[in-house]
Structure 1
Amino acid sequence: MRTPRPRRAVRPSTPARHHVPVLAALAAALMAGPTLAQAPAETIVISGNGTERRAFDAPFAVTVINADSLRDAGPMVNLSEALTLVPGLVANARNNYAQDLQLSSRGYGARASFGIRGLRLYSDGIPATMPDGQGQVAHFDLAGAQRVEVLRGPFSALYGSSSGGVLSVVSAPPTQRRGSLDLDVGADGFQQLRLVAEAPLAAGWHARALASGLRTDGPRPHSAAQRTLANLRVGRSTETDTLTVVLNHAEQPAQDPLGLTRTQFEADPGQTATPALQFNTRKSARQTQAGASWRHRFGGDGALRELQAAAYTGRRAVTQWQAIPVATQAAPAHPGGVIDFDRDYGGVDLRAVWRWAGGTQLVAGFNVEQQDEDRRGYENFIGPTLGVSGALRRQESSRLRNSDVYAQAEQPLGAGFTATAGLRHGRLQLSTQDAYLRNGDDSGSQRLRYTNPVAALQWAPAGGGWNLYLSAGRGFETPTLGELAYRPDGAPGLNSALRAQSSRQVEAGAKWRAPALNLQAELALFDARTSNEIGVLTNAGGRSTFQNVGRTQRRGAELALRWQPHPAWRVQAAATTLSARYLDAFIACTGVPCTATQGRVTVAPGGRIAGTQPRSAALQLAWAPPGTGREVGLELRQQGAVAVNDRNTDFAASATTAALRASQALPLGPGTLTLRARLENLSGRPYVGSVIVGDANGRFFEPVTGRPWLLQAQWQQPF
């Protein structure tokens, strides 16, 4: 039987659940409506370590998602909505706002147990990845984005540590004075309201302000959530200077239904784990951030062409209530069932660009980042009452500093050949001071250094239809504060035996375009070998410790296709194959408790890296008659079976899903009303949308059920 819904801590709203005939709401608009002129195609460029160029001309794999694609993909809440057509990238919404978005690039980051690992995240040049490698994206303003850039492969290492890939959101500067009101409603009580005002101002200044709020009951009992987001962007552009200042604030309280075991998922994928209800598992996050970037362009004949500077600062506060048995929390050395931390962070990046006659270019700069964190732990009970913050069990302060220098040079060689080479050298210093000594002294420090070289040879033959390249580089991923926090033997102090993982990556790619056919295709082949891969060693009492599991290998192919065979039709497709394997034997956990003496097993070489997808594919067909303002799209997605643990004893089954969308723009007086609708998972069959890799309790599976639907209305008007 389905677990009854408990009373919610977050106020719900209650439209009908699961599938309704949402497309009927737009039927009249799709059959008849005034015409609108179609906007010209946007010229797409990508930012690469201080320079700009077309994505097609880059000597590495990069995909650009434009603003229209972001809008068509859903309510613009999660990045996963619009990233299905990025080959090599896995972006899964967990259908659980208490857990972070699941992102991985070519298998890097797939095993993250908290935060986003293995990718560097940016919003308008401001990092959303902390110096220790953990990233967050809840504060991203997707509604104001001009594009999202996703870079994979060796050249991502030039962005620093923890760079299996780079994901960057770039805001759109205002081009006209206008206001916008968006209202979204959907399945599971989803409601969202968004207000936007933007305007170009005098003397090259412009401003854009956004405020949005959402609430949802969630797809399962005890999965309600709220999110409030405010964003202000002020800038100035002249012939020589570009200045951008960004302020944002995000708050998100959310209940956590936890994952399901295999038995629970097969019995009823819509249920919630009992411990979630007993301990009222939930998470509250608040983040405030400010950043500024400045770019100065020099005229004349000198080699120095640009100076760039960026600075940012912010604070993130998180409290999370976990489902840990009272007896376990009561153990003398346990840190408690409530995680509570405040994190202050900031950084500065300075760079210069030189260009000489003949096309030679050099970009060089340095970067400094800092992270200060106060972390506390409390019991998740007071007497017989569960799910409330009780006695203090942990209190410590950590400081982390990261400093880097980098350079990238590009040299044309003639006959269409271009050579590119780069180097980034950095060091990281970490120190922790323990102020709660009843369970031992966890103070300690650690220093790490890395050097990431990259190189590429590119050939673009005359005619402009081809771009062939070969690139290679080395990457480096530091342990996070959470991974260093505890020692496997249970003794106090940092896990000083844990080493950073390093990788060697090679990529060969081909990009082809045929303007006469409105066709563009890209193919990338890659091989990445990692040493000292970081994985879980023990998991007991709500505390995880980490180890180096040895060598791993990731290799595969990525294919992307964009084609417009007719002015009214567009086709986009992406496909990925990935073989991600352990090359060495290592020790893994088999359940709870998992300690140095029990619950452990040896994993043989050759198994899949848990959480990685061996294959995935996506296809979108869109029909948009020119001049009508209307569009209908069909989206198909296929994902392969995913190993949920290191031993590969269980898998999330492969799944093929389909979604249908429709939109209509209607000019009404001086403004425009745009209506949109989406219907997901057309078959209605439940499937595993994401997995919790290596969960010690076997609650690996996060399900998708029913046919989630969404209706959107957007009113835009100049002022």
Structure 2
Amino acid sequence: MSQRPLFSPHALAVACALACSSGAFAQSSAAAPSEEVVVTGSLTQQRVQDAPFAITVVDRDALRRAGPMVNLSEAMSQVPGVVVNNRGNYAQDLQISSRGFGARAAFGVRSMRLVADGIPASGPDGQGQVAHFDLAGAQRIEVLRGPFSVLYGNSSGGVIALVAAPVKTSEVEVGVDAASFGLRQVRGSVGLALGQGFDARLSASHMEVEGYRPHSAAQRDLGQARLGWQNDTDRVVVQVGAYDQPADDPLGLTRADFNSNPYQTAAQATQFNTRKAARQTQAGASWRHLFGADALGGLLRESQVALYSGDRSVTQWQAIPAATQANPRHGGGVVDFDRAYSGVDARLRWGFGPVELVTGLAQERQQDDRRGYENFTGTGASQVLGVTGKLRRDEQNTATSRDVYTQAEWTLNPDWVASAGVRSGKVSLRARDAYLSNGDDSGDLSFSYTNPVAGLRWQALKEGSRSLHLHASAARGFEAPTLGELAYKPDASAGFNTALKPQVSRQLELGLKYREPAFAVDAAVFDTRVSDELATLSNSGGRSTFQNVGATQRRGLELAGRWEPARGWRTQAALTWLDATYRDAFKACAGTPCTTPTVDVPAGNRIAGTQARSAWAELAWRDSAWGEFALEARGVGRVAVNDSNSDFAAGYGLAALRWSQQWSLGQAQRLELTARIDNLADRVYAGSVIVGDGNGRYFEAGAPRTVWVGVRWVHGL
């Protein structure tokens, strides 16, 4: 489940206006897709091969080929180092991790910085959500891994930034999708080049799906509106968006149930009618100004300010037995919260000869009115389950962050560029308990941090269209406990768990990027050491507590390549090897209820939720008359379901086949048809796991063989 967007100075690519995120500054302008321009992680727009860090671009065409553009997981298999699993459950968000960061999240997204068209989709307490991402309106997705992610502030193990497509010409677009298991979607957008520097875009979509498991139906409505204006020195963008998604929750399955029938629904799901309703509205604005040559002696180049505000509400009915809620300290089986969130970011870009410098500050805030209710009414024969009953929790939670940052790039000579930056901030977390019959769980806690990063890029080869770049970088990262992790003390006394410490990472990365017209390869090796890793300590009476369990290590290799061996032919591949392990032993819980952990987790155990190996490959052939045919393959290694490694979801291999074609209909009209079959062999596999589930319902089945057809019609105005 997830949360409020937060603002970051690297990626405010609000409809191709500018890009910002919480650590560095970037400007965005039109560029040819083949140049693979990125703005995330850098001071100014640059090509992927010039960036001194591991970053991957998934462009608009790749998003459209991958599926109906409902879930980010459709296209992320081609990105090394990042895992985006579709749970097949719209009541829970996608499972996202980068180099092992975020893998421990049982639900929702954490440890990742998420940015949707310039508005952050992860909050100052480190949790986020991506269900409102408008993939159909994206120009590209930028995925940053490794040391330079720390410039995005607290809880930034990686960055996923959606950059909206610019309005270049006035046109209307309509799309219709149909797929297996009752998926239906209709999409529409209008882009208008209004003249005198103004442009606008309106878009909306409606999706319905029945799901391949009983009790997994969902609906989703998205709406976006954006207005832009620019002249020679200024660019202003204003945007608003809305999202509404009710969804049933089929829950995870135990090992026995999964082996018996992986596509069944847990009995508790229908017994309690488990489900979630989520709504969100938000608005944002940004203003970029280019200064003239005489501004402060020519030193001041550019200013940028961006702000946003929004509201999000979530109500979730869970499968918690009424007897369990008899504990007076239990918060109930219905989670209900209303969130107000806002943020502002301002920065200046300077030029000192060969040195480019950005300085800035950012503030983010979320306020949750959080309530809990019993998920039943009545007793005995008259008891009704799966409804909203008596109040059991009532509190106001607040998280704020205030940061200052700077980043510099120094062109030492045409072949060498040095980069460095630092982000320093404070995360403040507060709870005010208004339900006092079970004790006062109010609390206040703040964490301060300083994240430095340094990198060096060397252009080792430049001969015509051939180039080779090598880079090295190092950083220190920071991840504070979330509001949920701080909420309760292990000894059941009132107040925050003040003994809990933030985890700190030290990251190293070496990489290379080779380019020639028909061939490209990106490679990176990394080593990340984390101290005071966070993990679950106890789970009893509806309250989970957390502990610091010592050191962990994440090391690995990422490899991605593209080759065009002959006219019309293209092949791509991505490979990841990740060794993510605990370096210190500790104890964990065997299940629920658990007041004291008793299960040994020895040093060397794999961090739950991480995949040691994954690979993706594609072979495509395009012909003007026949369209494009492609065969895709994906392989994933086994995944530990808990820290004790008592069970694993088995590894699997999948194949997919797709075809697409475009036709010009004259009068500025074109029609595009795309079809694909996923899981060709109809393999049975666990597509994701619910990490550390106290009830042992770890396994979520991946989709069986799925057929999708999408039609897109574009008419120029």
- Per the TM superposition, whether the score is higher than 0.5 is yes
The alpha-carbon deviation at position 488 of structure 1 amounts to 2.0
1:367 aligns with 2:362: yes
1:69 aligns with 2:68: no
1:465 aligns with 2:464: no
Match of 1:110 among 103, 107, 116: 103
Match of 2:268 among 253, 264, 275: 275
1:651-697 deviation digits (Å, cap 9, x = unpaired) = 00010001111112122243212111111101112101011000111
* Contact 2:635/2:653 (<8 A) preserved: yes
Q: Secondary structure at the match of 1:157?
A: helix
Alignment match, 1:45: 37
- The one-letter code of the counterpart of 2:286 is S
Match of 2:634 among 637, 653, 665: 637
CA distance in 2: counterparts of 1:476 and 1:40, whole angstroms: 36
1:533 aligns with 2:530: no
Q: Secondary structure at the match of 1:326?
A: coil
1:10-36 deviation digits (Å, cap 9, x = unpaired) = xxxxxxxxxxxxxxxxxxxxxxxxxxx
Q: Residues 284-433 of structure 1: matches in 2 within 5 Å?
A: 284-300=277-293, 302-357=298-353, 359-383=354-378, 384-414=383-413, 416-433=415-432
CA distance in 2: counterparts of 1:624 and 1:491, whole angstroms: 66
Q: Secondary structure at the match of 1:566?
A: coil
- The one-letter code of the counterpart of 2:272 is F
The alpha-carbon deviation at position 558 of structure 1 amounts to 0.3
Aligned length: 675
Structure 1 unaligned spans of 5+: 1-38
CA distance in 2: counterparts of 1:266 and 1:681, whole angstroms: 19
CA distance in 2: counterparts of 1:376 and 1:320, whole angstroms: 11
**CA, structure 1 residues 171+629, in 2 after alignment: closer, same or farther (shift >3 Å)?**
farther
The alpha-carbon deviation at position 50 of structure 1 amounts to 4.2
Alignment match, 2:490: 488
- The one-letter code of the counterpart of 1:109 is G
1:335-383 deviation digits (Å, cap 9, x = unpaired) = 10000001111100011111233x2111110101111111000000001
Q: Secondary structure at the match of 1:433?
A: strand
* Contact 2:357/2:406 (<8 A) preserved: yes
- The one-letter code of the counterpart of 1:718 is G
The alpha-carbon deviation at position 415 of structure 1 amounts to 6.1
Q: Residues 426-575 of structure 1: matches in 2 within 5 Å?
A: 426-463=425-462, 465-515=467-517, 518-575=518-575
CA distance in 1: counterparts of 2:452 and 2:688, whole angstroms: 34
* Contact 2:176/2:185 (<8 A) preserved: yes
Alignment match, 2:23: none
1:169-198 deviation digits (Å, cap 9, x = unpaired) = 000111111111111111111110111111
CA distance in 2: counterparts of 1:648 and 1:41, whole angstroms: 43
Q: Secondary structure at the match of 1:183?
A: strand
* Contact 1:287/1:315 (<8 A) preserved: yes
The alpha-carbon deviation at position 633 of structure 1 amounts to 1.3
The alpha-carbon deviation at position 138 of structure 1 amounts to 1.1
CA distance in 1: counterparts of 2:627 and 2:34, whole angstroms: 19
Q: Secondary structure at the match of 1:710?
A: strand
The alpha-carbon deviation at position 541 of structure 1 amounts to 4.0
CA distance in 2: counterparts of 1:189 and 1:592, whole angstroms: 36
Q: Secondary structure at the match of 2:419?
A: strand
* Contact 1:615/1:640 (<8 A) preserved: yes
- The one-letter code of the counterpart of 1:646 is D
Q: Secondary structure at the match of 1:364?
A: strand
TM-score calculated relative to the size of structure 1:
0.92
CA distance in 2: counterparts of 1:422 and 1:293, whole angstroms: 23
Q: Secondary structure at the match of 1:288?
A: strand
Q: Secondary structure at the match of 1:266?
A: helix
Alignment match, 1:177: 170
Alignment match, 1:695: 693
Q: Secondary structure at the match of 1:624?
A: strand
Alignment match, 1:220: 213
The alpha-carbon deviation at position 432 of structure 1 amounts to 1.1
Between 487-496 and 694-703, the greater mean CA deviation after superposition? 487-496
1:453-475 deviation digits (Å, cap 9, x = unpaired) = 00011111351611101100000
Alignment match, 1:586: 586
Alignment match, 1:253: 246
Alignment match, 1:707: 705
CA distance in 1: counterparts of 2:545 and 2:617, whole angstroms: 40
1:604-653 deviation digits (Å, cap 9, x = unpaired) = 1110000000010000111112x447211111100000000111010000
CA distance in 1: counterparts of 2:182 and 2:544, whole angstroms: 35
Between 542-551 and 198-207, the greater mean CA deviation after superposition? 542-551
Alignment match, 2:13: none
Between 566-575 and 375-384, the greater mean CA deviation after superposition? 566-575
1:88 aligns with 2:81: yes
The alpha-carbon deviation at position 494 of structure 1 amounts to 1.4
Q: Percent identity?
A: 56
CA distance in 1: counterparts of 2:189 and 2:543, whole angstroms: 43
- The one-letter code of the counterpart of 1:71 is R
Q: Secondary structure at the match of 1:305?
A: strand
The alpha-carbon deviation at position 40 of structure 1 amounts to 7.0
Q: Secondary structure at the match of 1:80?
A: helix
The alpha-carbon deviation at position 705 of structure 1 amounts to 4.3
* Contact 2:43/2:407 (<8 A) preserved: no
- The one-letter code of the counterpart of 2:661 is Q
CA distance in 1: counterparts of 2:658 and 2:292, whole angstroms: 48
CA distance in 2: counterparts of 1:104 and 1:72, whole angstroms: 23
CA distance in 1: counterparts of 2:564 and 2:358, whole angstroms: 37
Q: Secondary structure at the match of 1:188?
A: coil
CA distance in 1: counterparts of 2:364 and 2:240, whole angstroms: 19
* Contact 2:291/2:301 (<8 A) preserved: yes
Q: Residues 185-224 of structure 1: matches in 2 within 5 Å?
A: 185-224=178-217
Q: Secondary structure at the match of 2:323?
A: helix
Q: Secondary structure at the match of 2:484?
A: helix
* Contact 2:688/2:700 (<8 A) preserved: yes
Q: Secondary structure at the match of 2:128?
A: coil
Match of 2:144 among 137, 151, 162: 151
- The one-letter code of the counterpart of 2:705 is R
TM-score calculated relative to the size of structure 2:
0.92
- The one-letter code of the counterpart of 1:524 is A
1:32-85 deviation digits (Å, cap 9, x = unpaired) = xxxxxxx97543221135421111101000001110001111011111111111
* Contact 1:415/1:461 (<8 A) preserved: no
Q: Secondary structure at the match of 1:390?
A: coil
Alignment match, 1:663: 660
* Contact 1:49/1:159 (<8 A) preserved: no
CA distance in 2: counterparts of 1:203 and 1:50, whole angstroms: 29
CA distance in 2: counterparts of 1:488 and 1:566, whole angstroms: 63
Q: Secondary structure at the match of 1:201?
A: strand
Between 406-415 and 184-193, the greater mean CA deviation after superposition? 406-415
The alpha-carbon deviation at position 579 of structure 1 amounts to 0.3
Between 658-667 and 538-547, the greater mean CA deviation after superposition? 538-547
Match of 2:684 among 683, 686, 689: 686
The alpha-carbon deviation at position 118 of structure 1 amounts to 1.3
Higher relative contact order (CA 8 A, sep 6+): 1
- The one-letter code of the counterpart of 2:543 is R
Q: Secondary structure at the match of 2:207?
A: strand
* Contact 2:43/2:409 (<8 A) preserved: no
* Contact 1:123/1:169 (<8 A) preserved: yes
Q: Secondary structure at the match of 2:424?
A: strand
1:395-420 deviation digits (Å, cap 9, x = unpaired) = 00122211000011111223612211
CA distance in 2: counterparts of 1:415 and 1:183, whole angstroms: 49
* Contact 2:33/2:59 (<8 A) preserved: no
* Contact 2:538/2:595 (<8 A) preserved: yes
- The one-letter code of the counterpart of 2:487 is A
